[in-house]
C-alpha cells in the first residue's frame, strides 16, 4: 500500500515549473552515421496519463527518450513541450522546464546516502539545503525508502536502487517523468509494488509518465495508451487492449518472450 504523499509546507522546488499539458515528438528522425534509429515518429504524452513505449530490442525507444529529454539532438523533426519548440535546449534546460528521467543504469551517487542522493538533486535546482532536505524526506517516505535513508545508495538492493532513481527524478517536481525499464530484474511481487507506485504518479504529482518497459504485464497493466516502435518506426498506438490484438505488434514480437 502506498502512503499518501505529503508535500512539505515550504516547498523549495518550484512545483509550477511548467504548465505544459503535453510533451510531444513531431516527425522525429534520428540518424547515426546514416543508420536511421528513429524514422518519422510522432507521439504525445499527456500530463494525466501513463503512456507506454514498447518495441523489440533496438527499436529506438531509448533514442526517442534521449531526444525527449535533451540528451540527443534530433536529425529532423521537433520536440515540443506545452506547445513550445525546444530546439537547441540542453538536457539541463529540459530538466529545469519540468522533464525528468531515470536511466537503465541507475546513475546514483553510490557513495552517498539515500537521503543525500535525493537532497543534492533537489538542491541542484536551486532549493535551499533545508528545503531540499524537507522535500527529500517527504519523497523517501512516499516511495517507501524512509527507513533506508541513512544507507549508502550502493548498499541498496537493486529494486530499491530503482525506487531511488524514481525518487530523485520526482523530487524535481517534474511535469513529465520518463522511466527507462524500471521493472528490469524485478520479481513478480516487486513488479506489483512498482506498478502501484508508477500508476499513482500522474494523480499524486500531476505528472505525466512515459514508461519504457519490456515487462508486458507491467506496461499493459498501468498504461492508458501504448506506442509501439519497431526498427525505428511507429507500428501502432492504442489502448492496451488494442495493442494486444494488433497484428503488426504480434508479428514484431513473434518468437520473443512477451
Ligand X SMILES: Nc1ncnc2c1ncn2[C@@H]1O[C@H](COP(=O)(O)OP(=O)(O)OP(=O)(O)O)[C@@H](O)[C@H]1O
* Residues lying near ligand X in the complex (CB under 6 A): 32, 37, 55, 57-63
Whole-number minimum distance, CB 189 to ligand X, in Å? 24
State the residue for C-alpha cell 516511495: 143
Q: What's the closest the beta carbon of residue 60 comes to ligand X, in angstroms?
A: 4
* CA–CA dist 136, 7 (Å, integer): 10
Closest approach of Cβ 229 to ligand X, in Å?
7
Whole-number minimum distance, CB 217 to ligand X, in Å? 17
Output 32 or 158, the one with its CB closest to ligand X. 32
Distances (CA, A) of 209 to 111, 151, 179, 222: 29, 28, 7, 10
* 122: helix, strand or coil: helix
120 or 184: CB nearest ligand X: 184
- Distance of alpha carbon 216 from alpha carbon 52, whole angstroms: 10
**Axis-axis angle for helices 114-124, 129-143 (nearest 10):** 130
Q: Let me know if 224 is exposed, middle or buried by CB neighbors in 10 A (0-12, 13-18, 19+).
A: middle
Determine the distance from the C-alpha atom of residue 53 to the mean position of all C-alpha atoms in its chain, rounded to a whole number: 11
The least distance separating ligand X from the CB of residue 33, rounded to whole angstroms, comes to: 7
Cα–Cα distance between 3 and 51 in angstroms, integer?
Answer: 23
Return d(Cα 116, Cα 124) in angstroms, integer: 12
**Measured from the CB atom, is 127 or 252 closer to ligand X?**
252
Pick 136 or 228: Cβ nearer ligand X: 228
Q: Which is nearer to ligand X, 18 or 63 (CB)?
A: 63
Least distance (Å) between residue 123 CB and ligand X? 31
Angle between helices 188-199 and 158-170 (to 10 degrees): 10
CB of 131 to ligand X, least distance (A): 36
Q: For cell 514484431, what's the residue?
A: 252
Nearer to ligand X among residue 37 and residue 114 (C-beta):
37
Interstrand relation of 225-230 and 50-54 (parallel, antiparallel or unpaired): parallel
For ligand X, the closer CB: 58 or 83: 58
Say if residues 62 and 80 touch (Cβ distance below 8 Å). Answer: no
Amino acid at each position: 500500500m502506498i502512503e499518501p504523499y505529503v508535500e512539505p509546507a515550504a516547498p523549495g522546488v518550484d512545483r509550477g515549473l511548467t504548465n505544459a499539458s503535453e510533451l510531444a515528438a513531431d516527425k522525429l528522425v534520428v540518424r547515426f552515421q546514416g543508420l536511421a534509429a528513429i524514422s518519422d515518429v510522432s507521439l504525445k504524452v499527456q500530463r494525466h496519463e501513463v503512456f507506454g513505449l514498447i518495441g523489440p530490442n533496438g527499436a529506438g525507444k531509448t533514442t526517442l527518450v534521449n531526444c525527449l529529454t535533451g540528451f540527443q539532438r534530433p536529425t529532423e523533426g521537433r520536440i515540443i513541450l506545452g506547445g513550445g519548440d525546444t530546439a537547441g535546449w540542453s538536457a539541463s534546460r529540459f530538466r529545469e522546464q519540468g522533464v525528468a528521467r531515470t536511466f537503465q543504469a541507475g546513475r546514483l551517487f553510490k557513495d552517498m546516502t539515500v537521503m543525500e542522493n535525493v537532497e543534492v538533486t533537489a538542491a541542484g535546482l536551486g532549493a535551499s539545503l533545508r528545503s531540499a532536505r524537507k522535500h527529500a524526506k517527504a519523497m523517501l517516505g512516499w516511495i517507501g525508502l524512509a527507513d533506508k535513508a541513512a544507507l549508502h545508495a550502493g548498499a541498496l538492493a537493486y529494486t530499491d536502487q530503482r525506487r531511488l532513481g524514481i525518487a530523485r527524478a520526482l523530487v524535481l517536481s517534474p511535469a513529465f517523468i520518463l522511466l527507462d525499464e524500471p521493472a528490469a530484474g524485478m520479481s513478480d511481487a516487486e513488479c506489483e509494488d512498482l506498478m502501484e507506485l508508477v500508476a499513482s504518479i500522474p494523480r499524486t504529482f500531476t505528472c505525466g509518465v512515459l514508461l519504457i518497459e519490456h515487462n508486458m504485464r507491467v506496461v499493459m497493466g498501468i498504461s492508458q495508451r501504448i506506442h509501439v516502435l519497431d526498427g525505428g518506426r511507429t507500428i501502432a498506438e492504442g489502448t492496451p487492449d488494442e495493442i494486444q490484438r494488433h497484428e503488426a505488434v504480434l508479428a514484431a514480437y513473434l518468437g520473443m518472450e512477451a
